[in-house]
Structure 1
Amino acid sequence: MTYLSRHLISIDDMTEPALRATVARGVDLSQRAEPTALAGAVVGIYFKKTSTRTRTAFTTAALRLGADVIAYGPQDLQLNTGETLRDTGRVLGRMLDALVVRTAGPTAELRELADERLAFVNAMSEEEHPTQALADLTAMQRRLGRVDGLRVLYVGEGNNSATALALALSRFKDVHLEIRTPQGYGVPAGVLERTRGYGVNTGFSVNEAHDLENLPRDFDVIYTTRWQTTGTTKADPRWREQFAPFQVQQELWARSPGAVFMHDLPAHRGDEVTGEVLDGPASIAFDQAEMKMYSAMAVLCWALKA
């Protein structure tokens, strides 16, 4: 079978209908199999950085859809001997149907590597983690029955997961995103401006502050990520003192008793979240991790126009 290709390097690469369709397909795939959707396709999985969920999700997703998989580790490609990103992409584009890549480096590197002949998926770059956001929305849709109209509280570092989540939520109707981060660790201002631009048409609203005071009520989702993002370090040796007040604790549910708790994992109990919350009845963090596989299946189908 011949597959056509699209790139998912940023959430901005998807139209609103495509986002909605991909989230819906992920939910659908969690309930029924499509074992031949990618029959005959060859999917490369190239990870320069550690991964449990994303690498496993895309590998199993490709296999469950009937594709074959070639896995590359950080020492496997001739990039290590000086071959350029562009030349590597041109070669892989003549042999693979799709390439899923995690570098944790600049997104510009991915655009250089992404050859027009293959479907290219960003499995996490320095600036954005788009497949995480799609998995998050798939988990929300499956658990809460909708994304439109949700009220989401994000607590912690304004990292690549937060960036992707904000961009994805801004494409849905009447969503409010409340972001609370330590001073100096917020979501980039340019990203927030992009989300407000989408909000002109969708009714999305976002507010960012740098404490947990005067929180609104009745959030549907309370979300955090680990404080030390993969592949990054913090210049301030006392950064933990700034982050400590932003630990997600059970007290946050006093004003939002119906909220579910989400975490992109891995989690560090006692840092960004207490064990009481992560392992408690409101937590859907491990269901969210499972949705990553079904969301990956939907992403591959979209990227290969299957």
Structure 2
Amino acid sequence: MNHFYGKSFLKETDFSAAELNYLIDFAIHLKDLKKQHIAHHYLDGKNIALLFEKASTRTRSAFTVAANDLGAHPEFLGKNDIQFGNKESVADTAKVLGSMFDGIEFRGFKQKTVSDLAEYSGVPVWNGLTDDWHPTQMIADFMTLKEQFGSLKGLTLTYVGDGRNNVANSLLVTGAILGVNVHIGAPKGLQPAASVLEIAKKEAAKSGAELLITDDAGAAVKNADALYTDVWVSMGEDVDYDKRIKQLLPYQINDELLLKTEKKETIVLHCLPAFHDTKTTIGAKLLNEHELDALEITDSVFQSDQALVFQEAGNRMHAIKSIMAVTLGNLFIPENLFA
């Protein structure tokens, strides 16, 4: 008996608070098993296809190591490795891959692509990121919060920056499902879409989570247990960098904004990569052009003890391992846990 067996993990709204909490708790358990060097080959003999339209450090590494730890064999298929959507349709590709692989990860642009893979492949499909949602990141993020604070319900998480991107969408909806208060601090033109906000409000009405969408960065961060940000321009997004940087500079996580939480124990999260210094070619170019030391987060905050960004990044692997194990492994997970 396995409540999750055979299910895909495409977006957070497909899962209840109890189900998401189970995935978080199981990820924490798997992290402990790995720390103790206890084998957990729940996917022994399985083959996993890793489809990447978008480049990746954490998602690719996490799925690869997670699959190996679970006893599965991962096969990376980049956009130049297969005919995906180019000479062969998504549906046809899905049917072929589903006949050979036991599970498929997809990281790319359209949510419809990952949905079609799930519909036509006949095997569990996991969303490693699309333009709309970033669900595997959420299990890692809320896992990090739970490790730090012991429980989730009633915590306040504030996201500042581009409030319409996939990470902001996912944080807003996942927090609402789990009973975590979510504040979004973003300029009016970069606030969550009405459709996403509607989903979040429905979930918040059930969980008791409080939601706040505001263009006042100080009001957004007040009483926050966690501050969260992301890059100001998403991968593949065609925007005027000059305008975007001027728009979002008031929402930079810096020492001054951190003080406005009025809490000493506030932690700082970032899904990475981060433009906190000039040690990347893109970061150096942007920062030099605009005479800045950092973009969405300053180096002093990024390097501080309050920033748990590398714990959060490491948790991507444990979170992904949890998702893969429960949807593809022969685990005993009774239905009545989620009644």
* Identity between Structure 1 and Structure 2 (%): 27
Distance in 1 separating the partners of 2:222 and 2:86: 55
Partner residue, 1:267: 274
Higher deviation after alignment, 153-162 or 27-36: 27-36
Letter in 2 for 1:63: N
Asked whether the 8 Å contact 2:99–2:121 carries over to 1, the reply is no
2:117 paired residue among 85, 96, 113: 113
Distance in 2 separating the partners of 1:172 and 1:73: 34
Partner residue, 1:220: 225
Query: C-alpha offsets along residues 214-258 of structure 1, whole Å, 9 cap, x if unaligned?
Result: 346321111111112122222575221111111111122322221
> Aligned with 2:49: secondary structure?
strand
Kindly indicate whether residue 319 of structure 2 is the aligned counterpart of residue 295 of structure 1: yes
Sort the Cα spacing of 1:117 and 1:214 in 2 relative to 1 into closer, same or farther, 3 A: closer
Partner residue, 1:32: 33
CA RMSD of aligned residues (A): 1.7
Asked whether the 8 Å contact 1:218–1:258 carries over to 2, the reply is no
Matches within 5 A, 1:154-173: 154-158=159-163, 159-173=165-179
Structure 2 spans left out of the alignment, 5+ residues: 277-293, 331-339
Aligned length: 302
2:247 paired residue among 205, 229, 242: 242
1:91 Cα deviation after fit: 1.0
Letter in 2 for 1:11: E
Asked whether the 8 Å contact 1:45–1:72 carries over to 2, the reply is yes
Structure 1 spans left out of the alignment, 5+ residues: none
Partner residue, 1:53: 58
Letter in 2 for 1:170: A
Distance in 2 separating the partners of 1:198 and 1:62: 32
Asked whether the 8 Å contact 1:23–1:137 carries over to 2, the reply is yes
Sort the Cα spacing of 1:80 and 1:199 in 2 relative to 1 into closer, same or farther, 3 A: closer
Sort the Cα spacing of 1:216 and 1:138 in 2 relative to 1 into closer, same or farther, 3 A: closer
Kindly indicate whether residue 265 of structure 2 is the aligned counterpart of residue 258 of structure 1: yes
Partner residue, 2:23: 22
Partner residue, 1:192: 197
Distance in 2 separating the partners of 1:237 and 1:227: 11
Partner residue, 1:6: 7
Distance in 1 separating the partners of 2:6 and 2:201: 29
Asked whether the 8 Å contact 1:27–1:141 carries over to 2, the reply is no
Asked whether the 8 Å contact 2:102–2:124 carries over to 1, the reply is yes
Query: Given the two structures, how large is their TM-score scaled by the length of structure 1?
Result: 0.94
Sort the Cα spacing of 1:213 and 1:144 in 2 relative to 1 into closer, same or farther, 3 A: closer
